[in-house]
Structure 1
Amino acid sequence: MTSSGDTPEAATSADLFRNDGRHRVAVLVRDGVMPMELGLVHQLFRQARTATRGTPLYEVVTCTLEPGEVRTDADFPILVSAGPRTLAEADTVILPATHLPDATETEGRLPAALASALAQVRPGTRLASICTGAYVLAAAGLLDGRRATTHWHETERFRSLFPSVRLDPEVLYVDEGDVLTSAGEASGIDLCLHMIRCDHGAGVAAEVARRTVVPPHREGGQAQFIRRPVAEPSGTSTGRARAWALAHLGEPITLGALAAQESMSVRTFNRRFREETGQTPMQWLNGQRVERARELLESTEYTVDRVAAESGLGTATTLRQRLQATVGVSPRTYRVAYRGAAHAPDER
């Protein structure tokens, strides 16, 4: 149900999208929003552009329950002119967390104004939450029977309030198709890049990551919180080995070769790598090779055999298996989706 034509909100066009064909993202903020969570959505989606003409692929509009000044959890407010009817025009709605102790969704119920706002979201609209924004989706019943995640610190409370949600507190984000959830605020970056990758391919997402100087791809299944012993020395890292691996993906890479890049023993390197990434070196490497294969399928007309070789996956069979497991389609289907049938030769 949308606002009537004689309301103050209906009298202004400040909260309306331009409807110029771009994917419309509405960010619903409330008192207590973290500036970082709001900023990362705008920064990432607004950086997504077509490769040829640099045309923006998304339009992002911030809205709130009642237009005006919105408190943040910092020492400054933000001014939001768009109201909740913006949600009725959105293709994607993103819900950052609110960091106020009296947020009623953390008691398992929605305030009337928030429930009314969500009722304006059109069927089929993609919804996503950052951090404890998952409480809103759960309180609205949108996560019942589904996998979801939120900040690891909220695990016990969230499970007690929403036992029908299959909460996975160990991961960075969960994609359930039309509803996505992410962990702490930084994992919102991973979630946004994931949505951009799903919408427009690995190449566009990688370019957004390069422009904003963030990691191009972290699997949602990575651990969101990794405890490091206090006694661990802080001066070492596996970053040099990861950079070397990315430059040599098409070559055979062993665990010993990776460890040698850091002058570590294999045992020490394997332990440190897991501490820093939440994955084993080979899990990470296989993920990077699939990402490289996706980029090649999008940007070249290489045969599937050559894509497999260039990405280090070895054979077309392995590429098909890994791509099917990752995105659920064959190399040809993936290429058709991002380049069109004219650029999709036989899978050979």
Structure 2
Amino acid sequence: MKTPEDHEREQAMRVAEYRRDAAPIDAQLRGLGEDLDSIILKRNLGLDYKEAIPILLTRLTTTESRVIKSCILHALAVPAARPLAGPLLIREFYRTASTCESPGTSVPLWDIGNALEFHACDDLADNLIGIATEKRFGWARAMVVLGLTRLKDSRAFNVLVNLLDDPDVNTMAVTALAKLKNPAARPHLERFVNHPDRWIRREARKGIERLDKAAARTGNAARPSGAPEGGAPNKKAKRVRIPRGLSETSVAIGMDRLGPFLKRVAECTAGMEFSTIDDLVETVDRLDNDRSRLFGYQVEYESTPTPLVIKVQKDDVDSVGIYFHTSAALVSRIEALFHPFCEEHGA
């Protein structure tokens, strides 16, 4: 039986190994005032590090350390890595698969697929569908299957339906169909509402609930013919622009945390009502994946009037990127709010 001292020695060895393997990339990142640890911290806090992306992309293909590669893949799952990361990740997936004895159960391959899920787009549709439907990749392709929800390609829906009968990825196929809000998915999801696997059962039921809510909202949102969405007939919506000279910060957050975090920001300003935030969240919820919307407000922070422009990028039905453009003082406050908010909400 291992003693506490044994565990401490093993931990020290793992840390030393990590430091050794991270040294080459740290040497490059140091020129930007960063290292791999700081990049991962920024990734987890939703902060920007776009200058480091080229270094991360290069090191992804050269590092031999599985741990370092996993860290890099995690750090590349950010909007700033688009569109460069996607094609490289496809190549890395196939290269790694060719060196695996059992690609279907390969953790490194799953890690690459996990990053690919974030970067899935129609430009990569052929490759993504090819990976998702290749049985030899087993459960290592699970996150790629989920990534099909980001595609507008008409093939994606039928691929997901067919994968419902694939035992390696049927869990993720159900999850993906549940995210799509496509009414045609209902009969396929209904097959799984009493499935013995709790996760599959829950995802199927959630998907049907989403469809019901979408149908109810569509009925409630009926408007006169020719009326613009979200406004009165013949009233042109005011175009929101980002004024020059504002500071910027960004965070990545779950869709279910969007409203609560914006309300946390509103609590430290004057001029932004909770009802306005509820309207914002509803608007974002209606957006297609990979679409964005600008929202402009005039607020006061520390008794000083300042514009606050919020750009929300909908990555998928469950996650968004929020870009705040406002005064430097309010930017600092927003950044200070985010980490405690994540700890409080488990975000």
Q: TM-score, normalised by structure 1?
A: 0.30
